[in-house]
Amino acid sequence: MHKIQDKIVLITGGAQGIGKLLGHKCLQEGAKALVIWDLNSELLHQTTEDFRAEGYTVHPYQVDVSQVHEIEAQAARVLNEVGRIDLLFNNAGIVVGKLFKEHQASDIDRTLQINVAGVMHVARVFLPAMLEAGAGHIINIASASSLTPNPKMSVYAASKWAVLGWSESLRLELEREGKDLHVTTVLPSYINTGMFTGVKAPLITPILDPEYISREIIRAVKNNQILLLAPWSVQLLPILRGILPTRVFDFVGGTLFGIYDTMANFIGRTQTSQSPEAEKPAQNGKARRKTPANPA
C-alpha cells in the first residue's frame, strides 16, 4: 500500500473543488507538505491560510498549466524550495459545454493545452526525480467521458480519452522500471461541485458527492489502485461498448440510459473566477471562467 504519511504532495487546481478536498485529506493522512498549484491567486491564498491555520505545511504557487514555460519554471522552484514530489495529482481541467460547430479555435486549443498537454508536462517535469528515487505516485483525474462519446462534450471527451490512453501507457512504462512507481487513473462521472450545473444524471448513475469521491480517490492511492471508476455503473461502459454494435450502444447508452442528453441543459457555474482549471462558455459564446471539478 502506498502511504501518504510523511510524503510531499502536489495538486494542480488545488485551491478549490475536488483539488482542495484532496489536499486536505492528504494533510489529514499525515502528508509532510502540500504543494498547491492554481492560477486563482485569491483562492490560492485563502486555501493556504485555511490549511496553515490547522497547523499544516503548505506551499502555494500560482501556475497556469496551459503554459509550458510556467510549468517548467515553477517545477524547478518546487524541487529547489520544497523537494522531490512523492504524490502528484493532475487535477486541473476545463470544459466547454457546447456543440462542436459552436467552438472557436481558442476553445479547442485551451482545452487541449490544459487537459492534455498540461497534464503530460506536469508529469514530465516531476518524473525524473521520482525515477531517481525509485518511488512516486502519479494520479491523473480523467473522466467517465474517457469511455463514451457525448454530445456537447466533443473536445472535452477527446481530451479525457487522451489522458486515459497516456496515463495507462505511462503506468506500463513505470511498472517495467521494477521500482515503487505507480500511476492511478480516476474516471468519475459528474461531481456536484457546481461546475456542471444543469446536467441531467444518466439512469443509475447519480451525480457524485465531492466528499465521497475524494475519499475514494485517497483510498485508491493508498491501495495503488490502477483504475478508479465511479460510481459503480461507470464500470458498465467499457463492457457495453465492447460487446454491443455501435448503433445498439447508441440506443442503450444514449436513449435508455440517457447519457447523450446529460449536457442538453448545461449551465455550469455562473460566478467568475481567475482559475483556468474550470472554464466555460458564457451564453454569448465567449469564454467565462469558473471553479474546477471533475465531470463525466
List, by residue number, the catalytic residues: 156
Nearest to 262 by CA among 296, 231, 232, 228: 296
Spatial distance between the Cα atoms of 278 and 293, rounded to a whole number of angstroms: 7
- N-to-C CA span, the chain: 28
Q: Are strands 33-38 and 8-12 parallel, antiparallel or unpaired?
A: parallel
Nearest to 130 by CA among 166, 163, 179, 185: 179
Spatial distance between the Cα atoms of 82 and 120, rounded to a whole number of angstroms: 21
Residue type, 151: P
Could you tell me the CA-to-CA distances from 103 to 38, 95, 222, 261 in Å, in that order?
25, 12, 40, 19
